[in-house]
Structure 1
Amino acid sequence: MTAHHRPPTVSAWRPPVPGIAEVFHAHFTDHAYPAHTHDTWDLMILDDGAVDFGLDRRRHAAADLSAVLLLPPGVRHDGRTVTAAGFRKRVLYLDTTVLPERLIGKAADAPILADPLLRDRIHRLHAALGHPGEVVEGESRLFFVAERLRFHLEAFRHREPGREAHRLAVELRELLDARVRVGLSLREAAAVLHSHPTHLIRCFTRTYGLPPHTYLTGKRIDLARRLLLSGQRPADVATSVGFHDQAHLNRHFTRHVGITPARYASGGHVSRRDARQASRGNRH
């Protein structure tokens, strides 16, 4: 089968992050989108290849992998591959709680944003959305993506933390400490503390040296360690301390502690199952 006729590869899902209607990853070699519109903002980055697209009766060519494409809701557009190798893209469909409709006109005038910082923020958001359970991190990264988009569309400038930074950081930490098991969305925290989520994150990071979602994960790992040593099963511990499932716990626990929760609970001894897995890995 030639590259030109290779079937498309598509992955799509709806993450539990407010504001994101859909995540869409695809590799197309000869696909052409007909003219259509969306009710959402279409935020796209390219990982390979080039795209030719029409937006509001004007054609555009996108091949810069450090750039970002933003197609506004309600505006007619199409798209097609440029070369036989096609293109790889990652798309976020964002609703109008993330970007207001009043910015549609400005976005339609300049849909290609040459901004490596924005591109990196979107890449990191996709990485977070690819792991079930990373809702707080996804929410946090989405706010910073939206902030950067507003910088382009309406010259928005964020406010640097001032004297209030320590107070807000302490208050946010108290909220997180009280909600370790059930979690706390940044929207909730912002409403309680009367501050914008990105400002809260900057204040917290300046005060404690790490963002709120990383702090919350560390608190959950500490709680998981105590429960594991008390004899509870890793699968039960995972959900009781706020992780999505055991795989979610395993990933963070191993990164923090250096061994799996099961090995930690057994005093560091390798189980027969772990030994068999290690043996199989050494043979490959």
Structure 2
Amino acid sequence: MTARRFRDSARYWRTPLLPGADLLTAEYHEHEFAPHWHEAYTIPVIEDGAECFRYLGAQHVAEAGTVPVINPGELHTGSRAVDEGWRYRVMYVPVDYLRDLASGIADRLQPLPWFGADVIRDPDLARRLSLAHRLLEADADRRRAASGASRIARADASPVTDIDVLAVEGALLDALSTLLTRHGRTREAPLQPQMNDPRVETMKSLLAADLETPLRVADLAQAVSLSPFHATRLFTEASGLPPHAWRTQLRLQRALAPLRAGASIADVAAASGFTDQSHFTRHFRRMFGVPPGRWQSA
């Protein structure tokens, strides 16, 4: 019997029960995520199929029932690992939220939580995360319906109709605290000395200062007293991306706040330094799996 092939379908949404977070319910077959990072913790649970991704210098495969956590700011990719593709649920949890939760668990201030590069194979944790995500989604649907918005029918929609918000929050705290207590650690020192090279930080600051201003490699090289070749090589080895690609990722991250606030896509594209809206949309889709209009409508 041939397994069902997943389609490329993604739904981003948000909830006041997890402030500042984006949540994703998706399945993918053809889509491949270009190298990118998120400013939040990426906490997925694979529900079917399998995903492969490159992360921290190695190739990984996450099959159904696993939790491939990505730390904030870390470069990674994503594509199908099996013929049918993969289906998953993801929480993009803000750094402050998870750090505050870790401090609450320990009853004292904690450093930034960090997670190892290996895919987490903990079926009980996967079940807790999936349950919390489904309850959050069902509650978000209920809120939209109550506010008069049209309810979107989905084949995988949670059957929950009578939702207790205390139960939803309880499931969320249970899932994330289980992740922290079983698998959280503090950040390890970088393996490569150039990752802390102040010249790399100088170049990043120059790239980030004004995203609309065109820059040349010579500008970066002059700022750190290196040749263009050596400046580019140092930056790429430290960040995992050449300067132009790193700046594109930063532009996409900076675009999220105005999109959330309701700014037009054309205005956001221009303010973020993209040549036009189609250029912005193409890069946005490669990173988030949906065009910016669909992401914004969440």
TM bin (shorter chain): 0.3 to 0.5
TM-score scaled by structure 1?
Answer: 0.48
Between the two structures, name the one with larger relative contact order (CA 8 Å, sep ≥ 6): 2
TM-score scaled by structure 2?
Answer: 0.46
Q: Which has the larger radius of gyration?
A: 1
